[in-house]
Structure 1
């Protein structure tokens, strides 16, 4: 009888310990927000965007369109979830990269833009504008530690 009670106690204690550990781990994982999930686009200034687009098409085989080129790929392990990265040359006179003085801007894909912006505000990150929503997703611009403008995009895949 004592032996049966001991075995039942050991099993119950093991079960409760495992349940407690699983609860702690899953709580920690929920608090770690997924931020950047990939690169959504690379944008750069040049003297003649049309000529630059044609050059990349002719010499490097980019499948270009009026906005540059779109690279399609599959997200993670789910090969049914198509994603894309945009490559776009801009006129060297564009104001789109301001307030950054740099000749480039990177667009990062993110999982939950609104929650991320709230977290970035708490961390003192400069938010350049308000979140804007389009048919293809939500966007906002921030500045990194050196004043480079970054575009954050939550795609509507």
Structure 2
């Protein structure tokens, strides 16, 4: 039986794709032919996973606009926050929830980006 094996991408409309792609390249260090590309072969965590999560309101998405948020896995949230701060990127929050570490920023189009370091394998 055929099955879904992972998240293929996030697609959304922006005013200037070249500027947005440049921001992802310069600020987050991710690039690709069609936009920022993440290669799962580079993931070293135990039982890495992606999540599609649903909300009844947009409180978790705020101050992002558009009704969605992009969650990006990172290997070191604290290190990433330090790198972003050195580039004068505003950090909206930075927490350790035990099962994972998180930080939040906005991209140049107002899309909220959640940076997530998986600390535990899923139950």
Instruction: State the TM-score, normalizing by the size of structure 1.
Output: 0.47
Q: Identify which of structures 1 and 2 has the higher relative contact order when contacts are C-alpha pairs closer than 8 Å and 6+ apart.
A: 2
Higher strand share: 1
Higher helix share: 1
Task: Establish whether residue 105 from structure 1 lines up as the match of residue 69 from structure 2.
Answer: yes
Kindly state the Cα deviation for residue 35 of structure 1 after the two structures are TM-superposed: 6.1
Larger Rg belongs to = 1
2:92 to 116, 128, 147: 128
Number of aligned positions between the proteins: 87
Structure 2 unmatched runs, 5+: 1-27, 31-36
Task: Establish whether residue 85 from structure 1 lines up as the match of residue 50 from structure 2.
Answer: yes
Kindly state the Cα deviation for residue 136 of structure 1 after the two structures are TM-superposed: 1.4
Secondary structure in 2 aligned to 1:146?
Answer: coil
Which residue of the partner structure matches residue 95 of structure 1?
A: 59
Instruction: State the TM-score, normalizing by the size of structure 2.
Output: 0.59
Structure 1 unmatched runs, 5+: 1-33, 40-74
